Amino acid sequence: MLGPTKTPSEEVGRSCPVFGVESGGPVIGLGLLLILFGIFPFIIGTGEILPLPLAILFIGFGIFLITWGIRQ
């Protein structure tokens, strides 16, 4: 007899598309690292090495990755 059918997400598993693990830990860690890369030049006073729009992009994408990792 046939058992219960699985949906495609159950067959493949909900894994991280970047690192291939089921938890969102690596994505959260990558998001924190991007936020630190965006903030650190301004903390140490060398903000001219990283333009402000690029820092905002790093911080924004880091926040996106953290929320995505938490939702998994």
Of residues 3 and 55, the one with the higher pLDDT is 55
pTM of the predicted model, to two decimals? 0.66
Backbone φ, ψ for residue 16 (5° rounding): -70, 130
Q: Looking at residues 44-67, what average pLDDT do you find?
A: 88
Give residue-wise pLDDT tens across range 15-53.
555 656 667 778 888 999 999 999 998 888 876 788 889
Q: Which structure tokens are listed for 6?
A: 């699985």
Of residues 57 and 20, the one with the higher pLDDT is 57
Task: From 25, 49, 24, select the one nearest 37 (Cα to Cα).
Answer: 49
Q: How confident is the model at residue 64 (pLDDT cuts 50, 70, 90)?
A: very high
